[in-house]
């Protein structure tokens, strides 16, 4: 879900703070006044060499040498290349895009050593737990510089908040079948950011041994990937999955190396490279305009969904095998959940045909068959359609059919995959493994002020109590606390409780 909120914090440009990381890089940030606390904000800190030229599609490379200049962490930097459709442009139009985008933001209530514009201070209090945020957006949209991902409210609850950009679309997930293009580059970006936290977060007052990773939608799927990946082991202690996992089909991956390589060769041909030439990847790297790797669905949808590739170094096993053979990071405490109505917003944005007044049962059936062919190849189309039409009184009413398809799609993409993942994660742990626990929630609360997204859904015939995909981030980031005029007193009080739940989990498990 995309929201725009302006003037979230009052920033005093004269109140600068400078931190030297353990790796030798110096960053200049700003001190904000948030919820009656001083919170230090550092934006646009590079954690990798620019992934351009020969590094396009490759694993990210750590910064080779400390920057000899002071990094200006007072201003936003580049977001990764992404395609903005008319439906999503309003949320991203102010973001500057570039392939040189591997940077991270930090909000912290304290730093271990710092200098301000007026004095030098040393903080000797204990290190704070760290919360590492992974944004959503179907692995094709998103940025740490979206205003709703300002981490200052969470930091005001005594944690250090970090968020890192990662590559999107084909630039982030193209699989080339060789070490120089291993697929899942976007996940490797997240991994390198976690390693940066391990090496540097003490300088910002954070405890590298108390890291909680959390994300929503594709960010939640990313969290599920790190829980599966042997490469991520030991880099975090807790995890929160908000609406999404990579556990879809019964026994086959959502994307494997064969299908991913076929797709990559298609891209080569599309941009004028010969997919049969052994230098086809070099040709792709020579494409001057990175925007040529953007793609929108042919059906007029708002964005294209990308998925990580299984059968690779990062994701060697699908969740079902990983859980059954205990080949996953089971030493982690986990919270997972989904909103009550994941489907409506996603269905409208990805399949606008459901808005047609002529939408009928045949159209619904064709959509399910299309989804089965593209992503979820084990769907029994007829049985699935019949199941979701059970509660439809009038099968000629396009509004009721729209509701039925939305529920089906939300269950398929988000709700069932989230619940199954959490269930299997818990079921395959034994008491001898560790002391961890798994909690599952269903999000039933919507803004009582009826935000624009909910008002929009009402005009489309969805019930008043619809709780859409992404609405939870409004509260987990504490937006009603910093922009109270946009929300009701009930929203304000509820936010206090939710932010406390999330940050308490990071502190205490």
Residue 5 has a pLDDT of: 35
| pLDDT value of residue 120 | 34
Does pTM top 0.85 for this prediction?
Answer: yes
> What's the mean pLDDT in 9-28?
77
Look at residue 453 in the predicted model and tell me its pLDDT: 56
Nearest to 329 by CA among 256, 224, 427: 224
Structure tokens at 240: 């929160």
Q: What is the pLDDT of residue 434?
A: 53
CB atoms < 10 A from the CB of 280, how many? 18
Residues 88, 303 contacting (CB under 8 angstroms): yes
DSSP assignment string, 379-422 = --HHHHHHHHTTT-S-TT-HHHHHHHHHHHHHIIIIIHHHHHHH
CB 153 within 8 A of CB 288: no
Kindly state the average pLDDT of the residues 295-317: 91
For 30, 118, 203, the CA distances from 70, given in Å and listed in that order, are 14, 18, 15
User: Residue 454's pLDDT is what?
Assistant: 55
Q: Note the pLDDT tens digit of each residue in 30-43.
A: 999 999 999 999 99
Encode 364-384: b = buried (16+ Cβ within 10 Å), e = exposed.
bbebbeebbeebbeebebeeb
Which tens digit of pLDDT belongs to each residue from 445-477? 988 764 555 555 666 677 878 899 999 999 999
Class of domain 35-348+409-508: alpha beta
Largest CA distance in the chain: 72
Residue 119 has pLDDT above 60, yes or no: no
- Of 140, 203, 217, 417, the active-site residue reads 217
The answer to whether residue 90 is catalytic is: no
Q: What span, in angstroms and rounded, lies between the C-alpha atoms of 103 and 464?
A: 40
Q: Of 237-241, 345-349, 486-490, give the range with the top mean pLDDT.
A: 237-241
Q: Is the distance from CB of 426 to CB of 433 less than 8 angstroms? A: no
Q: What is the mean pLDDT of residues 207-214?
A: 98
Catalytic residue list contains 170: no
What per-residue confidence (pLDDT) applies to 48?
Answer: 96
Give the pLDDT score at 94: 80
In sequence order, what are the beta bridge partners of 179?
none
Average pLDDT, the chain: 90
For the chain, domain boundaries: 35-348+409-508, 350-408
Q: 468 — phi, psi (to 5°)? A: -85, 160
> 358 φ, ψ to 5°?
-95, 5
pLDDT for the residue 131: 98
The answer to whether residue 333 is catalytic is no
Among the options 40, 226, 317, 469, which is catalytic? 469
- Rounded Cα gap, residues 342 and 407, in angstroms: 7
Three-class DSSP category at 432: coil
* Whole-number Å distance between alpha carbons of 72 and 104: 12
Kind plus residue range of the DSSP H or E element containing 270: helix 257-270
Render pLDDT for 375-413 as a digit per residue (tens, 0 to 9). Answer: 777 789 999 999 999 989 999 999 999 999 999 999 999
Handedness of CA 275, 279, 282, 283 (dihedral sign): negative
How deeply is 92 buried, as exposed, middle or buried, from its count of CB atoms within 10 A (0-12, 13-18, 19+)?
buried
Q: Is 217 helix (H, G, I), strand (E, B) or coil?
A: coil
Question: Hey, which residues does 20 pair with through a beta bridge?
Answer: 26
Output the pLDDT for position 188. Answer: 98
Active-site position among 342, 406, 417, 418: 342
pLDDT in tens, 261-286: 999 999 999 999 999 999 999 999 99
Query: How high is the pLDDT of residue 11?
Result: 44
Q: What is the mean pLDDT of residues 423-448?
A: 81
- Under the banding of pLDDT at 50, 70 and 90, the label for residue 125 is low
Among residues of the chain, what percentage have pLDDT more than 90? 76
């Amino acid at each position: 879900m995309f929201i725009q909120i302006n003037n979230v914090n009052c920033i005093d440009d004269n109140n600068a703070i400078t931190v030297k990381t353990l790796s030798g890089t110096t960053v200049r940030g700003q001190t904000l006044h948030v919820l009656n606390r001083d919170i230090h904000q550092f934006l646009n800190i590079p954690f990798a060499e620019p992934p351009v030229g020969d590094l396009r599609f490759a694993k990210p490379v750590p910064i080779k040498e400390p920057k000899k200049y002071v990094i200006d962490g007072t201003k936003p930097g580049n977001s990764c290349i992404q395609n903005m459709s008319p439906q999503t442009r309003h949320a991203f139009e102010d973001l500057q895009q570039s392939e040189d985008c591997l940077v991270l933001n930090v909000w912290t209530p304290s730093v271990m050593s710092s200098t301000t514009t007026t004095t030098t201070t040393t903080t000797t209090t204990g290190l704070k737990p760290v919360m590492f945020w992974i944004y959503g957006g179907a692995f094709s949209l998103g940025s740490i510089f979206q205003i709703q991902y300002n981490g200052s409210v969470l930091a005001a609850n005594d944690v250090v908040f970090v968020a890192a950009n990662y590559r999107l679309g084909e630039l982030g997930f193209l699989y080339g079948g060789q070490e120089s293009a291993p697929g899942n580059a976007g996940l490797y970006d997240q991994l390198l950011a976690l390693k940066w936290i391990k090496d540097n977060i003490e300088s910002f007052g954070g405890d590298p041994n108390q890291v909680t990773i959390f994300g929503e939608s594709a960010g939640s799927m990313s969290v599920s990937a790190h829980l599966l990946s042997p490469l991520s082991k030991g880099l975090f202690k807790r995890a929160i999955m908000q609406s999404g996992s990579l556990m879809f089909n019964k026994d086959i991956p959502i994307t494997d190396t064969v299908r991913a390589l076929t797709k990559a060769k298609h891209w080569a041909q599309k941009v004028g490279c010969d997919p049969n030439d052994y230098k086809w990847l070099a040709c792709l790297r020579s494409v001057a305009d990175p925007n040529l790797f953007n793609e929108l669905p042919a059906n007029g949808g708002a964005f294209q969904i990308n998925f990580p590739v299984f059968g690779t170094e990062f994701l060697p096993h699908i969740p079902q095998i990983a859980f059954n053979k205990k080949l996953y990071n089971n030493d982690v405490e986990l919270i997972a959940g989904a909103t009550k109505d994941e489907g409506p917003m996603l269905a409208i944005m990805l399949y606008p045909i459901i808005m047609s007044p002529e939408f009928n049962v045949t159209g619904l059936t064709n959509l399910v068959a299309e989804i089965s062919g593209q992503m979820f190849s084990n769907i029994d189309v007829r049985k699935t359609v019949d199941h979701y039409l059970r509660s439809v009184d009038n099968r000629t009413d396009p509004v009721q059919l729209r509701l039925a398809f939305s529920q089906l799609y939300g269950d398929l993409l988000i709700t069932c995959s989230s619940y199954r993942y959490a269930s299997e994660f818990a079921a395959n742990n034994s008491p001898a493994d560790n002391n961890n626990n798994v909690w599952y929630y269903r999000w039933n609360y919507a803004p009582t002020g009826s935000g624009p997204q909910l008002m929009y859904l009402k005009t489309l015939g969805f019930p008043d109590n619809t709780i859409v995909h992404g609405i939870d981030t409004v509260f987990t980031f504490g937006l009603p606390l910093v922009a109270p005029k946009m929300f009701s007193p009930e929203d304000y009080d509820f936010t206090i409780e939710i932010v406390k739940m999330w940050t308490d989990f990071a502190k205490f498990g």
